[in-house]
Structure 1
Amino acid sequence: MEPQGEKPGEADGVLLTPQLLKAHSGEFALESILQLRLRGLRLVGLGCLGECLGLERLDLSGNALTQLGPLALLRQLAVLNVADNRLTGLEPLAACESLQSLNVAGNLLASPGQLQCLAGLRGLTALQRLR
């Protein structure tokens, strides 16, 4: 039995904190961060990432993410790489109206129908879903 309040894998992975985001970006205010490269950090949760409202480019590849909930708040996000995670759905990305380029290769997306939630993103011109 797992400790109460802990999700499977969280004990082994890393959750994003404001301190971690500031250390990787060099910015002092989360809303000032324009781009982040957080690849291969064993991330299991996105924590406060939704507070980076000015974020335009984000690389989350090579982590252990299973959901993208906080990204729904990132209206300026244009380039997103979430390759090689454990994602089974992309629904939060439907709110990322500025998204132009998306890489979801190497995830647990079993069927092309799981990309249907992205149909409303008119600016999405580059989508990579296979390796």
Structure 2
Amino acid sequence: MITPRDRFHPTSRKHRTLTGLLVGLALVMANIGGALAQSQRHQDAVDRWEQQRQRDQRLDQQNDRAFQQRQWQRQQQETQRSFDQLEIERRQILNDRLDRRPLEFDRPPTTVVVPQQPTCRQYTQAYDAAGRPLGLICLR
């Protein structure tokens, strides 16, 4: 006959069943705890990846803006150089035209009356081919 003491004896069937259930429950709890820890590690990794992706995206946008700014500045400089070159060419053309014009078409003669000179009473300004004044010439 089984006494109340023998009911939970280490070799009894109930004891083995109860021990098995407790060990099983402990394993299930450990698996759940491990799964939760793994899930948290996974979520942390996903969060780090997302932060890195956002940081990379911001850097890409900044680099794109900086590249566009440099490209715009380069275009502005090239445009300014083109305008400067056109202005230089225009001035060269004008200077070439001035050098080829006859002297009488450079400037109209101006008449100056100088009363201090008793020998000459009327002067005119003379110019060279480039349009630079040479000095006064006595007319009378």
TM-score normalised by the chain length of structure 2: 0.16
Q: Quick check: which one's strand share is greater?
A: 1
Task: Give TM-score, length-normalised by structure 1.
Answer: 0.17
Rg comparison, structure with higher value: 2
The structure with the greater share of residues assigned to helix is 2
